[in-house]
Structure 1
Amino acid sequence: MTHHNAPNKDLPLEDTGISSISGNARKGLPFKRIILFVPVFIAIMFTGGVMGMYFQPAGLRLFYEMTGLEPGGGSNQKIAVPINTTVTEDDIKALEAGAVVALGKLIPRDGVSTIALPYGAGDARIAELPVSVGDWVETGTVLASLDNRPSLEASVEAAKAEIAVSEASLRQVQLSITASQVENEADLNRSKTNADLAQAELERTKSLFARKVVTQAQLDRAEAEAESALLDVARKVATLQRYSGSADISQADVELAKRKLHSAAIALRTAEVNLEKSVVRAPFDGTVLDLLVQPGERPSSAGLIEFGNTREMTAEMEIYQNQIGRLNIGDAVILRAEALTQELRGTLTEIGLIVGRQNIISVDPAANTDARVVTVVVTLDETSSELAANLTNLEILGYFQPAIDEASK
C-alpha cells in the first residue's frame, strides 16, 4: 500500500532561498545597530573635549599634572580665550596694584572736524581738490574750489568797474565846481568894480546936480545904476557862498557823487565776500584725514573733508563712574593697543563733568554695554603724538596710575 502523504525522496526540490535570506538578515542586525552609534559617540567625545579644554575640571588638571602636558602645547594659538583680547598678565597686575583701566580712542587735539561748504554756497559742485589725505596744511590754505567761482569773479570785476566810474564822476563834479567857483569869483570882482564906478558916478552927478549942471532925471539914473551895481555884488557874493565848505546846498552834487562811490565800494566788498564762498579754506593748522567728496560732486550734509591737528594727539577715555573719584589732573597714563608697536604715554588733562552712557564698546561679547561713564582727556607727549598721528580713532586701553600711588612708591 502506497502512502501519498510521505515525502518522496526521489523527487527534486526547488530552493526558494527564503530561509537563507532570513537567516542572513538576523545575523546582520547587530552590526547595523553598532554603526548607528558611531556618530553619536564621536559627537559626545568632541563635546567633552571642547568643554574639558575650556572649563578644565579638576580631573583634567590632575591628568595634565601627572603627564606633564599642557593645553595647546602643540600650537602657538591660545585656547578658549576671546578673539582680539587685550587683557594680559601685566593688565591683571596693574589692576591689582590699584590702577584704573579704561577703554578709549585716539583723536587729534580738539577732535576731528568735518569741513562743510561756506554759508550761501548753494548747490555749487566741487571743481578742484588741491589737497590729498595726509597733507599738513596751515590756516587759510585752500582745501577745495567750487564751480561757482568764475561767475563770482566776474561780479568782482563788475564792481571794480563801477567804482572806477563813480570815482571819475566824483572828480568831474569836483572839477566842475572848482571851475564855477573861479568863474563866480571873477564875476564878483567885476561886479565890485562896476559898483565902485557906479558909486563914483553917483557922487559926481550929485555934485553937478547941486550946481544945477545936470537934471533930476540924470541924478535918478545915476542913483539907480549905483543901487543896481550893489545888488549885483550881493548876488555874486551869494552865488559864491554856494561853493564854500560850510554850505550844504553848494556841496549837494559832490555829496551825491560821494554817496554813489560809497555804494559802489559796498558792492565791491559784497562781491569779494561772495567770492570767498567759492573756496573752502583750512580753519586751523591740521592734517587732511579723509576726503568725503570728489571733483564734480555736490557735497552732502556730511561735509567735504575730515580735518584735525594730528601733531597734538589726545586720547578720549571713558571711566566708570565708581572709579572717577580716584583720578586727578596730572595723573600719568599708559596707553596700549595691539596695533601699536610700543606703549604711548600721556597725562590726564581734562575730566568731564557729565556722567553719560558708554559709547566705546569692547569686542568682548560679555562686556557691559550700558555702563555709566565719565569722559576724560589724556594729552599725549610729543613722542607718543608722532607715533599716534596716523591712527585716529584707534581703540586703546588706558592705565591710569593715580599720582598718590606713584608718590608712595
Structure 2
Amino acid sequence: MRRPALLLLTGGLGLAVVFGLLQLTRRQAEVQPQVPSPVVRAPEAVAALGRLAPAGDVRRLAAPISGFGGTPRVAELLVSEGESLRKGQVLARFDNRPQIQADLAGVQARLRTRAAEIKLQVREVQRYAKAAEVGAASLVLLDEKRDELLRLQGEQQQAEAEQRKLMADLANSELRSPLDGLALRIHTREGERPGSDGVIEVGASQAMGALLEVYESDINRVRVGQPVALTSENGGFKGTLSGSVTAISPQVRQRQVLSTDPTGDADARIVEVRVKLDPQSAQRVRSLAGMKVIARFSAQ
C-alpha cells in the first residue's frame, strides 16, 4: 500500500523539476544577449611639414651671356633676401658693365665723326656734280666722290648696328625684377660668377601660400579644397594661419623639409601639396617666404 503513494510523490516531484527547467529555459530564451556596438573612431587628421612659399609666379633670374660665351661676375648686389621688390627695379650689376660703357662711348664718338664726314662729303658730291654739268670736273672724279660718300654711309650703318648691340648688352649688365614681389633667395654674391642656379629667385608674394610634404601613406586622405591650419615650427609667427589645398603633385619625391626631431627620416617618400593662404593670413606672413611650418589638414 505504500508503494503507490511513494510513486505518486516521486512522480509529482519529477513533474515539478521538469516544469521548473522548462520555465528557466523559456526565460533564458526571452532574454536576448546584448552585443556591444562597434566603436566608430573619428578619422585622424593628417599632419605634414612644409615651408611658406609664394602662391603666384616664381622666377629664377640668370646672368647674361657675354660675347665670349661666359657669364660676368656680380659686381654689385643691390637687394637682400626677404626684401620687397617692384617691377623693373635693379637687383644687381655685373662686372662687364664698365667695359660695355667704354665701348659704347667709343662707337658713339665714331658715329659723330662719321655724321660730320658724311655731311661734308654730301656737299663735295653736290659741288662736283655742278662742276661736271658745265665741264669744270670730270665724271670720273664725280664718281669717286660718290663712292666715298657710299663708303662713309656704310661705315655709319655698321656703327649704328654696333651701337644697338652695345645698348642691349648695357641693359643686360643690370639685372632687373620682372615682377612686383619678394626676393626669395640669393644664389650669387658680389664677386661670384653665377652658376646654373642663377643669381636670385623672386616671387610674386601678393598671394602667399605654402608647399607641404605629405607622407605617401597619408596622401589618400588629402583632397583639393581641403582646409589646412598652419603653425610655425620655430615660433617665426604667432597663432595659426588658415588656407586650403589648391594642388596635389602627381609625383612621389624624396623629403626635403626636415624636422627638428633628430629621429626624422630624411629618406621618407612624400607628395608635394600646394596650399593657398586666406588673404588675412597671407598678409601676416608676406615677407616670411621659406619659413618652416607644421600643417594640419582637417579630417574628412
- The TM-score by the shorter chain falls in which range? 0.5 to 0.7
- State the alpha-carbon separation in 2 of the partners of residues 310 and 267 from structure 1: 39
The 1:369–1:116 alpha-carbon spacing in structure 2 relative to 1, beyond 3 Å, is same
| 1:312–1:364 Cα change, 3 Å | same
SS in 1 for 2:276: strand
Q: 1:383 aligned to 280, 291, 299, which one?
A: 280
Q: Residue 393 of structure 1 aligns to a residue in which SS?
A: coil
Contact 2:87 2:176 in 1 (8 A): yes
Matched, 1:299 2:189: no
Q: Which has the larger radius of gyration?
A: 1
1:102 corresponds in structure 2 to 48
Q: How large is the Cα RMSD of the aligned pairs?
A: 3.7
1:137 matches 2:137: no
TM normalised by structure 2 equals: 0.67
- 1:337 to 1:133, Cα distance in 2 relative to 1, 3 A: closer
Call closer, same or farther: CA 1:150–1:371 in 2, change over 3 Å: closer
Of residues 157, 164, 174, the one that matches 1:279 is: 174
> Structure 2: 5+ residue runs without aligned partners?
1-40
Q: Determine if the alignment matches structure 1 residue 171 to structure 2 residue 119.
A: yes
TM-score (norm 1): 0.51
The correspondence of residues 19-38 of structure 1 with structure 2, limited to 5 A, is: none
- Alignment partners' CA distance in 1, 2:126 and 2:155: 20
Question: Structure 1 residues 254 and 401 mapped into 2: Cα distance closer, same or farther (>3 Å)?
Answer: farther
Change (3 A) 1:335 1:388: same
User: Aligned pairs, how many?
Assistant: 251
Q: Report what 2:232 is aligned to.
A: 337
Aligned 1:74-223 pairs, distance under 5 A:
96-97=42-43, 99-109=45-55, 117-120=63-66, 124=73, 126=75, 128-187=76-135
CA distance in 2, matches of 1:358, 1:290: 20
Q: Are the equivalent residues in 1 in contact too, given 2:50–2:295 (CA < 8 A)?
A: yes
Tell me, yes or no, if structure 1 residue 268 matches structure 2 residue 193. Answer: no
The residue identity in structure 1 corresponding to 2:284 is: L
Partner SS state of residue 311, structure 1? coil
Q: Which residue of 2 aligns with 1:317?
A: 212
Listed one character per residue, the Cα deviations across residues 181-208 of structure 1 (whole Å, up to 9, x for unaligned) are 3344455xx9xxxxxxxxxxxxxxxxxx
Opposite residue 87 of structure 2, the aligned amino acid is T
**Percent of paired sites with the same residue:** 28
User: Gaps (5+ residues) in structure 1?
Assistant: 1-94, 191-235, 244-248
Of residues 335, 357, 369, the one that matches 2:254 is: 357
Please say if residues 56 and 207 of structure 2, whose CA atoms lie closer than 8 Å, have aligned partners that are also in contact.
Answer: no
**Structure 2 vs 1, CA of residues 150 and 301 (structure 1 numbering), >3 Å: closer, same or farther?**
closer
Higher strand share: 2
